Structure 1
Amino acid sequence: MTTDTPARLLQLLSLLQTPREWPGGELAERLGVSRRTVRRDIDRLRELGYPVQATKGADGGYRLVAGKAMPPLVLDDEEAVAIAVGLRAGAGHAVEGLDEASVRALAKLEQVLPSRLRHRVSTLQAATTPLTSGDGASIAPETLTVMASTVAARERLRFSYRAGDGTETRRLTEPYRLVSTGRRWYLVAYDLDRADWRTFRVDRVSEPCATGARFAPRELPTGSAAEYLRQSVYRRQETYAFTVTFAESAEVVGGRLPAWLGAPEPLGSRGCRLHATTGDPVQWLAVRLAMLGCEFTVEEPQELVECARELGARLTRAAGG
């Protein structure tokens, strides 16, 4: 019998988070208490914001349903390890769609994991090798979680940074946002030593350290971190404009395109057109467009037209056509 009320409430909550309906008698038996105590504990959970639904009947039943707000979750050891391993595997590579919110979730989870579970997570990750595509570099999940924590807490961040020419420097920054381009993670931050905004490739960062010093957020020169990154990257590399039309609506295409490419222009019943600028190799862009799953036509530049034609012919030959 569980006589400690807080411990009993956690055990009850863990049971209710299983997607099924629990008869009151079964809950009482599991917890070693009376049905009346179960009813009181259910009322306590409701007061804490957990939407527990009761059904009428001879035995009555309880289940946890979706509510208006996200209450705290109770995870057992296996569930916590599974979530941490999954988030770490995704965070180690700039997977499109895994944005800063996911990294913040990993940072929060690892902060409260007991040492025994943290060891299990590290052991599982060390024993597995993810299969990735593209040229995105691997990143230690710990690097991302430290950065995400300082972004959320508005805490100054110090780290070592290796430039493209191999030069190593120490940086003291006020981190603003983490941005994923689909192949790499970048940190947008205010560099205190250079008194200016900078972008840093996270795979070139080492020894990140939260200093504990808080700061008041500064105003970014552009409307968003993604836009600032786009402008910053394009200033440092040769870029080209391209135009592509799609036989799908702007809403469909826009939902599949990475945000940094911008939004397509609606063309009514004819689909939509995307006119954008990129520094990606034309081969990568052709593959990325083909992966959208939409019929499309490349209008310019000619190099991209020829690359798309060659890619289509190669795939046709591969299929025996």
Structure 2
Amino acid sequence: MLETSGRLLTLLSLLQARRDWPGALLADRLGVSARTVRRDVDRLRELGYPVNASKGPDGGYRLAAGADLPPLLFDDEQAVAVAIALQTAQAPGTDEAAVRALATIRQVMPARLRVRLDALEVTAVARREGRSGPVAADTLLALGTAIRAGEVVRFDYEGGSSEPVGAGPDAFVPPRRAEPHHLVTSDGRWYLVAFDLDRDDWRTFRVDRLTLRTGSGPRFVRREVPGGDVAAYVAEGLSRAYSPARGEAVLHARADVMAPWVGNWGVCEPLPDVDGSPRCRVVLGSWSWGGLAGLLGVFDVPFDVVGPPELADAVRELATRYSAAAR
């Protein structure tokens, strides 16, 4: 039979795992009498856990919401999921609280989880794209460990696998081989920034589309991500992927004023003033040339189109359309 303190933790874990528990079933799971369960529930209430009880033949217990947040119990998967969520917290004003909460959870984690979590470094990139499929915490931890150790990973990749080797029944698809460098999260999607050894170039892989092969690969000497800024590199790649119409323009305004509005949607660089008037160069992407022409007008400053010709044509067409609408 469990000692009282251990039994209370087990009881709390059971109450968190299921909405309603019949009293008899709880007593059976704990190996105690129904009377002992009632006493243990009273002890939990004294500790601040709001446990509701229902009477009758089918009576039981339910852990309800309370005015205060008492200590919680997490299994391994829950603890890792919470820690990953805290690492990727981006809401304004929550960063410091997220850091403190992560430190609290890490402190009480078993060593086996703490080591794996410490290997997980995540870069957040703000975007406005859709959600991805589910990503297993074990996959994120395995990639984080490989990144920290500098070990090549092998994986199968949905929609972008290697070319088949051989023909007929003996043909097989070899796994992708890559040097993992960064894990990036962007509005619900997870990406792996890696150097693809088979294609001899950098690639950004959707984590929900890859299946890791077992076993670690050889060590590698870490390379520098193009441009040296992983967030900028991924943002540029996502912008190209989701914004096929890309063009360049000169805004007649200061770069430091325009840059916050450009954000991760493109590039904003200062240019020398002309006759005392500030200018900046922007490179932006959109879903269409008309959409890109309209986006330039959103900045509400004079601008000059640099190119390509499709953007200049779209600006002229939009100007004609707006002029007709104004009449």
Bin the TM-score by the shorter chain. 0.3 to 0.5
| TM-score computed with the length of structure 1 as normaliser | 0.43
Larger Rg: 2
| TM-score computed with the length of structure 2 as normaliser | 0.42
